[in-house]
Structure 1
Amino acid sequence: MAMVIDWNDFDSHQRSGVAEALDAAGVDACPDPQPAPPTPVAPVDVDATAVAAGLGLDPARVPAMVADRRIATLCERGTGEDAGLFRFTFYYAGQRFRLVTDADGRPMPPG
């Protein structure tokens, strides 16, 4: 079961606990006062089953929970030797689940 995730969702950063978690991870979640034009990035299909397993949820519920932002998302695009990879972080009920994928949404092995 796949779901489409936009590569960055600044609205989700406003959810309780997300800003603190991003700060602790050293992620700047605030847009620049004068941001550069965004580089177009196609949405990535992510396996809802993997996200459900990581958060202990029913896979059938995950796409709707992401869509209505009950599950907050952050996606980081790799650069340098990580170019072409995406790191998705999903936040739900005080939990955090991370998933690294290629540009087609296929999970990469840990490491």
Structure 2
Amino acid sequence: MTTIEWNDFDSHALSGVGEALDAAGVDTAAPGYAAETAPAPGLVEVDARLIAQGLGLEPEQVPAMVADRRIATLCERGTGDDAGLFRFTFYFGKQRFRLVTDAGGQPVVDAAGGG
């Protein structure tokens, strides 16, 4: 397992992330943005094997690549009907892998068959 921090603000500068945040209605220029999106107390652990499979890597490579930010992460916390769910986006080079989990890091598949 690798531990992913709830918010990786450095990943917000990656190509496409700003557009995703805009589409989600997050105004990163608004006063208090950092306070509103500060990491919650605790971490969500995601199995490195899932990340490796999604990005075409070997599982043992993932923890070090996350630690040194070769794999950047963005984590979004669900609200409303999605409360208790987390959507992780992992960026490696030009690749992007999305994973929805519960608070325990277990993958969740939505009714449409996505995850």
Identity of aligned residues (%): 58
Q: Does 1:87 align with 2:87?
A: yes
Q: Secondary structure at the match of 1:57?
A: coil
Post-superposition Cα deviations, 1:2-42, rounded to whole Å, max 9, x if no partner, equal 1111110102334xxx2x31133225484644343646341
Equivalent residue, structure 1, for 2:32: 34
Match of 1:6? 5
Name the TM-score, length of structure 2 as normaliser: 0.81
- Is the 1:13–1:72 Cα contact (8 Å) retained in structure 2? no
Question: TM-score normalised to the size of structure 1?
Answer: 0.83
2:19 maps to which of 24, 33, 36: 24
Shift of 1:96: 0.4
| Counterpart for residue 63 of structure 2 | 63
Decide which structure has greater helix share: 2
Corresponding residue pairs, total: 106
Q: 1: distance between equivalents of 2:42 and 2:29?
A: 19
- Identify the residue that residue 54 of structure 1 maps to in structure 2: 54
Give 1:72's aligned residue.
Answer: 72
**Unmatched 5+ residue regions in structure 2?**
none
